[in-house]
Structure 1
Amino acid sequence: MPPRNAPTARQIRLGAELRKLRERAGLTAAEAAARLGTERPKISNIETGRFGVSADRVRALARAYHCADEALIDALVGMTGERRRHHWWEEYRGVVPNGFLDLAEFEHNAVKLRTVQTATLPGLLQTVDHARALFQQTAPPLPPHEVEHRISHRIKRQVVLFREDPTEYTAIIHEAALRMQFGGRAVTRAQLDHILAMGERDHVTIHALPFEAGAFPAPGQTIGYSIGPVPQLDTVQLDHIHGPVFLDAPAQLETYRSVLDRMEALALKPEESRDFIREIARSL
């Protein structure tokens, strides 16, 4: 099997987790290769996501590394199957930036999703008109057809909230983001009504963070947190002008979990948040 030219973030993550297991076992790539009867470059290519890896190979690596964490092993085995399936976001490969595809894949596989938004509204809660107003302000400007592709991709991401077994989703939204009038008053009012409607779903929790709450951690930062089947496979996603950035180091995960917990403690409860958002919508 030839090496992949552009592994996805999830494929890279699988390789990175296998590398962590090897390093915890105190083995070099050459030593691991010798135990498995293969060559060192193959181990290196697996760990960078450039080579695919089967479920049997993952279990063989885990045995070689003396990993007894069955929950983690099962989760890693589950990641191997994703590369053989054609998911909806593959239709957008070469059409939207690869980081957007990686984001959709992490959301698709998450057990739970949490987000903090301080200047913009969560992508999973955006209406078509709101998303269009955002993408029309991209710098440098996007051609109209690229704007439509990005809108389509963003709306399709929302399937995780509507599928038969929807993902549990918690969004903490600052008042600044709620009051931003992207697309004008009518678009903003419809967008807030949509957020209120989504908040009525059992698996969606909306927290509003009013100005009067004062200071909060990581101001100005948009944070997405995908909770994996085991804590080791959690992923943080940060928005930047050049696209999403993904973090998964244990210290980083702990930091952002703490930020999310503190933000949620500062925010209004869901019932209070609904009243707060309704008042903003009425004022438009």
Structure 2
Amino acid sequence: MERVPAVRRRRLGEELRRLRDSAALTSGEAARRAGWHQSKVSRIETGASTVTVGDVGVLLDVYDVRDRRVRDLLTMLAGRAHRRGWWHEFRDLLPEQYRDFITLETGAGRILSMENSVVPGLLQTPAYGRALTSSVMPGLTAEEVAALVEVRTARQAVLRQDPPLEFLAVLDEAVLRRDVGGPQVMDGQLAHLEAAAGLPHVRLQVVPFTAGGHTGVTNSFVIFVFPQMPELDVVVVDHLTGSLHVDRTEDVAAYTAAFTGLRARALPCEESVALIARIRAGWTR
């Protein structure tokens, strides 16, 4: 049985209770349809009891929830993704936190990304990703590096799906000037950013050095937004040994406000692309 953190368990219980209310069922009626005692439904909804992926699946069937994204997100909250995504074949290489990250990325309707050091994974070229992975994880074999780059490239399918993911990225100018892989790699990467910025569902802004210090300097972060289920919005903050998931409503609101503030301090989209082009010209000299 997989055990989930208390915060995640409470969030899952709240959402299952909301879905039960939407289905116009009492906890007793839901329990009878599931073949359980009423106390089990109550414990799940209050976060007092550990819930398995199987339990969540039963309740979603009882509540007639058929939306695949909703089902995947809620079963992920119970400990792991409900179905085998394309990343399952890389399970021996990807840590659980990274698999959770990909599941969130696949299910989100909008992503807000603040990066202060490297290009976001969804916008990386294979050459940049290969150079970056080799640098930050020097102990990997060439085959493992290639597999991780393949994963990163496959993740970018969310920008081409129908409807595509809405991606808003704020980059510190340092991202564009940090040498990852050498001039040729950087030229290709910055050209890719220019092209990506032209997509209607991508908004790319740069915070120039002239803006001084800002709230994104100390930590990069990603906000996953689920327009159909805003209660599931979550922030992921990277740190040295892993990543921190922040999902308290007030904390998500604080990060969202910080992101809005960063966009206001950043150059507008057109000026950001112009800056990328100027910096790219410097890499090709």
TM range (shorter): 0.7 to 0.9
**Structure 2: distance between partners of 1:259 and 1:178:** 22
Q: Please show how residues 203-214 of structure 1 align to structure 2 within 5 Å.
A: 203-214=201-212
In structure 1, the residue matched to 2:59 is 57
How far the C-alpha of 1:142 sits from its partner, in A, is: 1.6
CA displacement, residues 96-154 of structure 1 (integer Å, 9 cap, x when unaligned): 21211111110111011110111111110001111111111235622222211211111
81-90 vs 42-51, greater mean Cα deviation = 42-51
What percentage of residue pairs aligned between the two structures are identical?
A: 27
CA displacement, residues 162-218 of structure 1 (integer Å, 9 cap, x when unaligned): 123210111101101110110011101110000101111111111011000112114
The one-letter code of the counterpart of 2:213 is A
**Structure 2: distance between partners of 1:191 and 1:237:** 24
Give structure 1 stretches of 5+ with no counterpart.
25-31, 62-69
The one-letter code of the counterpart of 1:52 is G
**Structure 2: distance between partners of 1:78 and 1:143:** 32
The one-letter code of the counterpart of 2:235 is V
In structure 1, the residue matched to 2:144 is 146
Structure 1 residues 111, 46: closer, same or farther in 2, change over 3 A? Answer: farther
Q: State whether residues 18 and 47 of structure 1, in contact with CA within 8 Å, keep that contact through their aligned partners in structure 2.
A: no
Give structure 2 stretches of 5+ with no counterpart.
19-26, 32-36
Structure 1 residues 79, 22: closer, same or farther in 2, change over 3 A? Answer: closer
CA displacement, residues 211-243 of structure 1 (integer Å, 9 cap, x when unaligned): 001121141311111101232111111122323
Q: Please show how residues 68-107 of structure 1 align to structure 2 within 5 Å.
A: 79-80=73-74, 83-107=81-105
Of the three residues 129, 132, 153, the one matched with 1:131 is 129
In structure 1, the residue matched to 2:176 is 178
240-249 vs 149-158, greater mean Cα deviation = 240-249
**Structure 1: distance between partners of 2:224 and 2:16:** 25
Q: State whether residues 16 and 47 of structure 1, in contact with CA within 8 Å, keep that contact through their aligned partners in structure 2.
A: no
**Structure 1: distance between partners of 2:158 and 2:167:** 9
Of the three residues 188, 191, 200, the one matched with 1:190 is 188
In structure 2, the residue matched to 1:269 is 268
The total of aligned residue pairs comes to 260
Indicate the RMSD between aligned Cα atoms, in angstroms: 3.4
**Structure 2: distance between partners of 1:17 and 1:115:** 23
In structure 2, the residue matched to 1:250 is 249
Q: State whether residues 171 and 206 of structure 1, in contact with CA within 8 Å, keep that contact through their aligned partners in structure 2.
A: yes
How far the C-alpha of 1:53 sits from its partner, in A, is: 3.0
Of the three residues 11, 14, 22, the one matched with 1:17 is 11
Q: State whether residues 115 and 122 of structure 1, in contact with CA within 8 Å, keep that contact through their aligned partners in structure 2.
A: yes
CA displacement, residues 28-55 of structure 1 (integer Å, 9 cap, x when unaligned): xxxx89x942565994699545342346
The one-letter code of the counterpart of 1:217 is T
Q: State whether residues 53 and 80 of structure 1, in contact with CA within 8 Å, keep that contact through their aligned partners in structure 2.
A: no
The one-letter code of the counterpart of 2:189 is Q
- What is the TM-score of this pair, normalised by structure 2? 0.79
Q: State whether residues 43 and 49 of structure 2, in contact with CA within 8 Å, keep that contact through their aligned partners in structure 1.
A: yes
Structure 1 SS opposite 2:140: coil
- What is the TM-score of this pair, normalised by structure 1? 0.79
Q: State whether residues 16 and 48 of structure 1, in contact with CA within 8 Å, keep that contact through their aligned partners in structure 2.
A: no
Structure 1 SS opposite 2:250: helix
In structure 1, the residue matched to 2:214 is 216
Structure 1 residues 81, 216: closer, same or farther in 2, change over 3 A? Answer: closer
How far the C-alpha of 1:245 sits from its partner, in A, is: 2.4
Structure 1 SS opposite 2:181: coil
